[in-house]
Every structure is written in C-alpha cells, then in structure tokens.
C-alpha cells in the first residue's frame, strides 16, 4: 500500500511540496471555519427581523458528536412547522446546527422544549428550511479555532517559500 519515506531520504522539493500542501489545507480549513462561524453569527443577528411561525416539538434525542470529547452529547429537539401547504421538520435549536454539551445540559435543553409544546420557529424568509428556535449561533470558539488553523497554515506556507 503506502510506504512512508524517512524524512532524511526526501528531496528538498518533496519537503517543500509537503509544506505547501499541508499549509494550504490548514489555511483553507481555517478560512472556512472563520467564514462558517461568521455566517452563523450573521444569521443570528439578521434573524431579529425574520418571521416567526408556530411550530410544535415532536421529538427529543441525543447523539454522540464526532469530535467533542468524552461525556458530551448533541441534544436534538425535533420540531415541525407549516408554511402555506408545505410542512417542514427540523432539529436545530441554534443557527448553524448542533452544539455538543454535557449530558446534564442536554436535559436542560429538553426541559426548555417539552414534547408536544408549542414553539415559535424563526425562519429565513428566503429559505424556510433554514430555521432555528433561538436567535443564537453555535461556534463560540469558531473564530479562535479558525484563526489558529489559518495561522499554522500560513506559517507552513511561509516556511515552504523561504526554504
């Protein structure tokens, strides 16, 4: 399959290629993280003027996050709402998706939105399936993480150019 070369046997051109590829990936990943966090925060800000429609909570469940540590879960509050003849279902409490929390904090989210309770769903007037129950956004560390990734990527790119 793959054989990993010893760093001593790599040519300078191969080392520079590796730095460029790694730096490029980190820089783009960091920029994407910053952009996504900005857009979630922007939607949370803009939604102050977006319409609210009545909805109903139809389910609760938790799932394990992909990368968030031991003891953390993602609380999913499933709700439905109708606009005209179209019925939608969604499970985002905040704009941007789902934020992992400690197990006991998931129960607090479920207590805020009991099953069969009426809720006000904030909808994007242009894209109704982009909705949330709260006018907040996930990604409290998104700018920091994105800036850190981008800075490491830029460092690798500079290192490749200087080499």
Please indicate, yes or no, whether residues 32 and 74 belong to a single structural domain of this protein: no
Please indicate, yes or no, whether residues 76 and 20 belong to a single structural domain of this protein: no
pTM beyond 0.95, yes or no: no
Please list the pLDDT of the chain residue by residue as tens digits (163 residues).
556 666 667 788 888 888 899 899 999 999 998 888 888 788 788 888 899 999 999 999 988 877 666 778 888 999 999 999 999 999 988 877 677 788 788 888 899 999 999 999 999 889 988 888 988 776 667 778 888 989 999 999 898 888 7
Please indicate, yes or no, whether residues 73 and 98 belong to a single structural domain of this protein: yes
Please indicate, yes or no, whether residues 31 and 85 belong to a single structural domain of this protein: no
Please indicate, yes or no, whether residues 57 and 127 belong to a single structural domain of this protein: yes
Q: Kindly state the percentage of the chain with pLDDT values over 70.
A: 91
The per-residue pLDDT for range 44-56, each reduced to its tens digit, is 888 888 999 999 9
> Do residues 28 and 153 make contact, with C-beta atoms less than 8 angstroms apart?
yes
Q: Which domain holds residue 60?
A: 49-136
Please indicate, yes or no, whether residues 148 and 129 belong to a single structural domain of this protein: no
How does DSSP assign 47-84, residue by residue? GGGS-EEEEEEEEEEEE--SSS-TTEEEEEEEEEEEET
Quote the number of domains for the chain: 2
């Amino acid at each position: 399959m793959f054989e990993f070369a010893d760093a001593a046997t790599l040519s300078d051109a191969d080392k520079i290629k590796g730095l460029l590829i790694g730096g490029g990936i980190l820089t783009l990943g960091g920029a994407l993280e910053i952009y996504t966090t900005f857009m979630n925060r922007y939607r949370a800000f803009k939604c102050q003027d977006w319409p609210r429609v009545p909805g109903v909570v139809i389910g609760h469940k938790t799932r394990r996050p992909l990368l968030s540590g031991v003891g953390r879960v993602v609380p999913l509050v499933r709700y439905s709402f109708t606009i005209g003849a179209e019925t939608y279902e969604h499970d985002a409490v905040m704009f941007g998706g789902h934020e992992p929390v400690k197990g006991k904090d998931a129960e607090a989210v479920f207590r805020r939105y009991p099953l069969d309770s009426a809720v006000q769903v904030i909808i994007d007037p242009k894209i109704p399936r982009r909705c949330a129950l709260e006018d907040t956004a996930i990604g409290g560390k998104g700018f920091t993480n994105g800036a850190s990734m981008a800075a490491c990527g830029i460092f690798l790119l500079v290192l490749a150019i200087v080499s």
